[in-house]
Structure 1
Amino acid sequence: MNTISLPFRSAGIRGMLCLLACLLLWGCRSGEKLYNKGKYDDAVAAFVKKLQCRPQDATALQLLPEAYRQAQRLHDDRVNGFLRSNNQLKWEPVRNEYRAMQRLYDLIHSSPAALQVVTPKDYRDAITGAQENAAESRYDRGMALMERGDKASARKAYEEFAASLKLISNYRDAKERMEEAFQAGVIHVVVSEIDVRSPFFQFSADQFRDYLVRTLQQRSINRFVAFYDERFARNENLQPDQYIALRFQDFVVGQTFVDRLQRDVSKEIVTGTSKDTSGKIINIYTTVKATLFITKKTVVSKGLLDYQITDTNNGRLLRTDRIPGSYTWLNQFGTYRGDYRALSDEDKKMIGGQDVAPPPPQDLFIEFTRPIYDQLERDLRSYYSNIN
């Protein structure tokens, strides 16, 4: 069995006691330093902690009462300053000051030695009163905003009722008022059907619009904005607050260009080896040549989308823009005459290619509208996310 000799054990205990004494001494000095800097709340906490370890510490017993009085004085001064102000939301900072003083009360009650020299004040009733006043102020502000009768004020009222419930979870009928404010503040936005002036592309245009509406609905851009398809709004007799008109302008699908090119190529290749006069082996190079006959087929699709956001209540134009989009399909193939070894890897790929048909027009329409869709979605998300 391993044992520790008594001298070494005693030395270890003395070292731990020495370290503990140093920490306690540091804690006391730390409390004094905080007190001298006017950080009275922190000083109270430091002195209480010291007394929990050393109930007879003279410095802590002497300075704790004064630190508590100074802390209480500072918080009372702030409370009085808030109460004298005309700020409707003054009760929330008042509550915070009372809470800070209650924390000091709880701290002092955690140490019997601290209670011997300080009789802290209990602020629980003051906190409850301030909280009730704060909830009432928020509620009254919400009611006043609702009386204005406009959507922007209703959205602000929603936040006021929510703040009231955060202060007191079941305050009066704030939950019902909050839901009422939400419904009054929602902006109903209808996205128009798209007229492309071509029945051939109408289905693709409808897909474009349907996907846009679904994305806007699912992204939760703004809780106060609801998006609807025009057909749904018409069937439900929904009266929109805003209308997004979409229209493709000047679009071309499948514009085909065919270019036939002839290009001469050459390359030096190693065809053998020989020895020079010193006997060193050297490569023998030969230039090989070929002529490429290339067919380049390009199919271009492009167009513009105009969109406008209108306030349906007054006809005011809120936002308008034009977004371009394009897609180019390319196919190259060819033949050659001459030495195959003269061709590069890219040349060989073209020689291996063949004349293939471009995608169908509906697919080309979708491809050129893809960048338009991305830009339009970004624009609408940016615009509606900033509505308060």
Structure 2
Amino acid sequence: MEKVRIFYFLLALNTAVVVSQEQVQNFGALKIHEGGSIGFHDNLINNGSFDENVGLAGFYSTDDLTISGAFRPIFKDAEIVVTNHLNLEVGVGITSNSNFIIGNVITPRNQLDITLEYFNNAFYTGETSQTKVDGYAALSNKQNFIFPTGIANKLRSIELNSNSTNSIAKAAYFSENPNTPSIFNKGFNTNVKSDILLRISTYEFWDLDSSVPSTVTLTWDSDSAISSVVDRIEDLRVVGWDTSEEIWVDLGNINFTGNTNSGSITSTTFLPSNYEIITFGESLSRESIQLDNYMVSPNNDGINDFFVLEAVALSPNNTLEIYNRWGRVVYREDNYKNLFSGKANTSFTVNKNIGLPDGIYFYVVDLKDLKMTHQGYLYLNN
């Protein structure tokens, strides 16, 4: 026998609602009026109009529930009490408040048009590691917002603070290695990075879509393994995969709190639409510079083919001089860009522009932006 379910709501005219044993289907023009409420204990299939609501929609189940259909329902207020999560197969809008009580709202990460979307002044309450959006959350007509994103039993919100109002923005969290993401059609090689970056996290990333210049604040916990990304927490940066250049770049650190086990970091202002994903990285800093002795073996094997001084990324205004054993300058370059491959370039060298002989050479680098000068040795092995 079919179980009886009771719904409390006020209907608009010309409404067709069918309650079956496992689902509720709307084929007409359903509307929750001011002060009204409706409780769904079964799946909702919305194939009609259900977007002018000014009351409360509640989703209640000790199992799981699904919202699907041809059209997106939009609720003023919603509360989620679903033990095994509320699954969205169509987008859902919120115009006032959503209250996370039990269970996650799950959206398919490979369908960006299916989101839990907050309009204008809408907000949410009750977000925890067990109650959040596992997938894509979205906003409309908002300037600032904290997306209640995460995965499974992990809340990993991302805060967006924009220079002006976003007509639309979306975000999702991925507990994945960016080199091998699950839903993107390519990987984001963490070894392909700008000179100023030393390491990129291989544990997690966020996808953020916005066309307004913004700052973002990311959070981390013990599972983020931040100690594997940075030696000094002060060198932590927000980094992004530049869509046009296809390289990881530094998006800055204007504020951070915490330690390697937990904390948050805020980027400088950037345009999110220029970056496919964002995560954590380590950047060079004056304190982290280590100038040492080096070996150069220009045999095109991809290992030590060039004399690479990471510090020049922090000081583009620099001068490098390399001396042979008799103290003669064999290579000199202003604004050095890590391109010395064992060939001389000075007029005092007979073998200019050809390979120098194997041996030990002395170098001096003047990092003018940092007001630092360093000297050391390099061993050339052709």
TM-score range, shorter chain: under 0.3
Task: Report the TM-score when normalising by structure 2.
Answer: 0.25
Task: Report the TM-score when normalising by structure 1.
Answer: 0.24
Greater RCO structure (CA 8 Å; 6+ sep): 1
Tell me which structure has the larger Cα radius of gyration: 1
Q: Which has the higher helix share?
A: 1
